[in-house]
Amino acid sequence: MKKLTLALLFALSICSLSAQGYQPSEEVRRSQEQFSEDRFGIFIHWGIYSMYAQGEWYLQNAQGIQRDEYAKAADAFYPHRFDAEKWVAAIKASGAKYVCFTTRHHDSFSMWDTAESDFNIVDATPFKRDVLKELTDECHKQGIAVHLYYSHADWSRDDYPRGRTGWGVAGRNYKLMSWDSYFNFMNNQITELLTNYGPIRAMWFDGWWDHEEDATPFDWHLDEQYALVHGLQPSCMVANNHHVTPFEGEDIQIFERDLPGENSHGLSGQAISKLPLETCQTMNGMWGYKVVDQNYKSAKTLIRYLVSTASKGANLLLNVGPQPNGELPAVAVERMYEMGEWMAVNGESVYGTTAGDIPQQDWGCTTRKGDRLFVHIFELDYDMLYLPLECKVVSAKALEDGKELKFQRVKGGILLEVGKVQDKADYVVELVTK
Ligand code: GLC
């Protein structure tokens, strides 16, 4: 009987241990807080794919490219206009507080001086500069937090266990597939990234979905890899763009091309977790530089998207695809400056806010910070706006010029006398509430 009780107790304690699950460390929690305060980051998709100017999926999508022929782009990759100082200055000017840079995308090309593969910016190109080092040094100098994108999927290496994409690539020797070898390679690269480039606030993984539809579940050994990340830099958060609800050990939840709770692109049907949230979105239509894609969203649309993301309690990671010469496209830079001008005046209604009391409406949305409720008005056909509110409103003023606005208490909320708000990206009214 005694033996049985002990065994039961033991089993129960194991159960409670596993039910407790992953708890982020103090350091990670601080990063999560900072991250949520930031609300706005810039994504950068850059690699030798920019040479083909067809977006970052070109190697796969062109169907039938010989891997070794594609790789020749590296030998001509000489982005002589790359200037980390200018990039970071534009990022800062936009009002963004962090950058997420593609260190290695699905085509396998590494944008840093890695000892793990010669297919990298220093060994395989005439440029020979470690662009990641230059960029991270500059970010650390200018106070921009660094997140690193790292692809799990790989369309070039022989040892990568082939998944559902990458079939269009010719010339790979599948006889050499070896999970152990590939896993070891990734972990060694991750170790370099988290050792040689100063503080990295997040590792942003992508490509898990490559084995999502396997007949037998594919084990990515994420626990081990996440523990490696947290062990190397205790304040580094783990993010994974797998399009499903977060796994144990992850510190951010990502949504691709949609706001949390929306799913117009089919990649964001997953439930919203309690983790800090981030939506990544393109400024035009593609992530990597694509010559025909000049379909840039207007500054107005981008500002509204950023504000709407904040109104869902999430961050916006807005992408820019640098050109093969190393410059950020001029239109992208223009948009960044335009967003920054708006943020310089209205930033306090975005940074450090949480979702507002009223969900997204036809006229706009709301964000909140303490006792301040920010009403973001995008379009309004009338001079008055009815706001259904449970809290009591003490005062109302326009954020752009401090002008006091009149309001009346009515049943279930207030009627705000907005006046004419034509042609504004977002007219912000600050309500002090009780
Ligand atoms: C997708 C794509 C990839 C892009 C990423 C950005 O997963 O495969 O090309 O880097 O989304 O969110």
User: What is the pLDDT at residue 8?
Assistant: 46
Lowest mean pLDDT among 17-26, 165-174, 330-339, 353-362: 17-26
120 C-alpha to center of ligand 1: Å?
20
**What is the reported pLDDT for 424?**
95
Nearest to 158 by CA among 184, 186, 188, 178: 178
Place 422 in a pLDDT band, splitting at 50, 70 and 90: confident
Please give the distance, rounded to the nearest whole angstrom, from the Cα atom of residue 301 to the centre of ligand 1: 22
Q: Give the pLDDT score at 375.
A: 98
On the question of pLDDT at 309 being above 60, the answer is: yes
Dist CA 408 CA 390 (whole Å): 14
Q: What is the pLDDT of residue 12?
A: 42
In the chain, residues under CATH classification 2.60.40.1180 are: 356-433
pLDDT in tens, 267-276: 998 999 999 9
Residue with tokens 């040094």: 137
239 alpha carbon to ligand 1 midpoint, in Å? 13
Cα Rg of the chain (Å, integer): 24
3-state secondary structure of 45: coil
- The rounded Å distance from CA 13 to ligand 1 centre is 41
**Least confident among 4-18, 155-169, 238-252:** 4-18
pTM of the model: 0.95
pLDDT tens string 16-68: 334 458 999 999 999 999 999 999 999 999 999 999 999 999 999 999 999 99
Strands ordered across the beta sheet of 237-240: 237-240, 202-206, 145-151, 98-104, 40-44, 314-320, 277-282, 253-256
CA–centroid distance, 101 to ligand 1, in Å, is 12
CB of 282 closer than 6 angstroms to any ligand 1 atom: no
Pocket test for ligand 1, best of 206, 281, 316 (most atoms within 8 A of CB): 206
For position 172, what pLDDT does the model report?
94
Is residue 206 lining ligand 1, measured as CB closer than 6 Å? yes
Give the model's pLDDT for residue 20: 57
Task: Assign 13 a pLDDT band (cuts: 50, 70, 90).
Answer: very low
Work out whether the CA dihedral 277, 280, 283, 284 comes out positive or negative.
Answer: negative
| CATH number, domain 5-353 | 3.20.20.80
What average pLDDT does the structure give for the chain?
A: 95
* Mean predicted confidence (pLDDT) in 176-200: 98
The class that CATH gives domain 356-433 is mainly beta
- Stated as kind and residue range, the H or E segment containing 41 is strand 40-44
The pLDDT of 201-211, averaged and rounded, is 98
State which ligand 1 atom lies nearest to the alpha carbon of 151: 10
Atom of ligand 1 nearest to the CA of 56: 9
Q: What is the pLDDT of residues 347-392, one digit of tens each?
A: 999 999 999 999 999 999 999 999 999 999 999 999 999 999 999 9
Does ligand 1 have an atom closer than 6 angstroms to the CB of 256? Answer: yes
Portions of the chain given CATH number 3.20.20.80: 5-353
Residue 421 binned pLDDT confidence (cut-offs 50, 70, 90): confident
